[in-house]
Amino acid sequence: MLGFHNENNRCSFCGRPGGEKRPLVAGGPNNELRICSQCVEACEQYLIGLENESSLTPIDLSDVSSPKEFKEYLDQYVVGQDYAKKVLSVAVYNHYKRMAAQKSGSLPDFEADGEDKVKIEKSNVLLIGPTGSGKTLLAKTLAQKLNVPFAIADATTLTEAGYVGEDVENVLLKLINAADGNVQAAERGIIFIDEIDKIGRKSENTSITRDVSGEGVQQALLKIIEGTVASVPPQGGRKHPNQEMIEIDTTNILFILGGAFVGIDKIIEQRIAGKTMGFGGNIGTMDESQKMELLNQCTPDDLVKFGLIPEIIGRMPITVALKELTKADLTRILTEPKNSIIKQLKASFALDDLDLEFTPDALEEIADIAIKQKTGARGLRSICEKLLMDLMYEAPSIKGKKKFTVTKDIVLSGKLPSPETLLIGSKVTA
């Protein structure tokens, strides 16, 4: 029987009486039990929580891929950057190995009294490399391999609490949202913070004025990067009194920070100028491998001179430089990765019965344009889509099988043949 309104009936769970505004549902062998709508809702939320918790696979060392397996997986999606992939693979493996060992209590004890076991601190990563060199893609692909929540944040949008802009805690909200609200899953995820170099201090000297988007943000980030229980507003935005908060422990969240750090090579060169450089000249005459060797000699002092605070550098023990992508790299990026741009475009046009091809010299010319625009791999998609816009517009209107080949001349002119000559008949090649 449903909808009891008798004042003598009380909810068997909370004890509150039934009424017009609190109908009771009867149950049990003899309909002797009652439950109110509030308790029904509470039970539903509890069961949803259990379902989410049970869907999480506990981190087990046997489930964590080896560094070699991580590297092999990254090779399928990211072209080049072999050293960076190796360093990241080791860092991620060690991070999740540490979590697995802590969970199982299998950390070794080297002390005679046996009271305190070794505590392994997490190793966050700092990526230094030009725009479009693959920093975001590397972090995203690792999260994909691990099947953990992943969030990207832009450091330039962050400000100290109370100032116009995003609070640092909103970075954690993005991770919680990526985990579909499951805080436990978010607590073992990965956060990538880009443009970290843009929030450097204006000078090494401490300023007497407030630097709310530079040093102040670094100080605010420091707390969540090293590990704390943070309170996050569920709807984002600013915190205010009496607002319900989501609590999340950041101890096991892996932070990967990235930035171009334009000019840090000059800082490194100045530091080692009095020593034997072994590069055979200044930065302007170095080849790509020599520049990489120089950037990989970056020390904490170099980063402090650039504008990062010492405390945040101390929480980023692993620093790796990514090389600027060459024409050959960009050409490979167009075709080789598992989800390369050309493969995606071919699949998209195939849905309209159009067989799309690119000549090798056309791919090289597209790579050349990306280098001239200084956009790296990030600009390749927009170049291709702009080039093929007319084809995307016309192809769906023409029935039957079609074929089109993109040549170097088409890329150079930036124009496709007119629709009349482009898609007439059963086979068309330009």
What size, in residues, is the chain?
A: 430
Residues of the chain scoring pLDDT < 70: 1-8, 45-63, 103-118, 160-166, 201-213, 235-243, 274-285, 287-288, 418-430
* pLDDT per position as a tens digit, 164-199: 456 788 889 999 998 888 898 899 899 999 999 988
Beta bridge partners of 404: 356
CATH architecture of 67-105+119-204+211-275+286-321: 3-Layer(aba) Sandwich (3.40)
Q: Is residue 384 annotated as involved in ligand binding?
A: no
- Identify the helix (H) or strand (E) that includes residue 373: helix 360-373
Q: Which residue has tokens 């170097």?
A: 408
Q: Would the annotation count 49 as a binding residue? A: no
Identical fold between 67-105+119-204+211-275+286-321 and 327-421: no
Is 54 annotated as ligand-binding?
A: no
- Fold of the 327-421 domain: Helicase, Ruva Protein; domain 3 (1.10.8)
Domain limits, the chain: 10-55, 67-105+119-204+211-275+286-321, 327-421
The verdict on whether residue 133 carries a ligand-binding annotation is: yes
Q: 57 among the known binding-site residues?
A: no
Q: Residue 335's pLDDT is what?
A: 93
Q: According to the model, what pLDDT value does residue 46 have?
A: 62
Quick one: pLDDT at residue 209?
A: 44
263 Ramachandran zone, left/alpha/beta (phi>0; psi -120 to 50): left
Residue 33 annotated as lining a ligand binding site: no
Helices (H) and strands (E) in the chain, counts: 18, 12
Q: Give me the pLDDT at residue 54, please.
A: 39
Q: Is 11 annotated as a binding residue?
A: yes
pLDDT at 334: 94
Flag whether the pTM goes above 0.75.
Answer: no
Euclidean distance between the first and final Cα of the chain, in Å? 75
130 annotated to bind ligand: yes
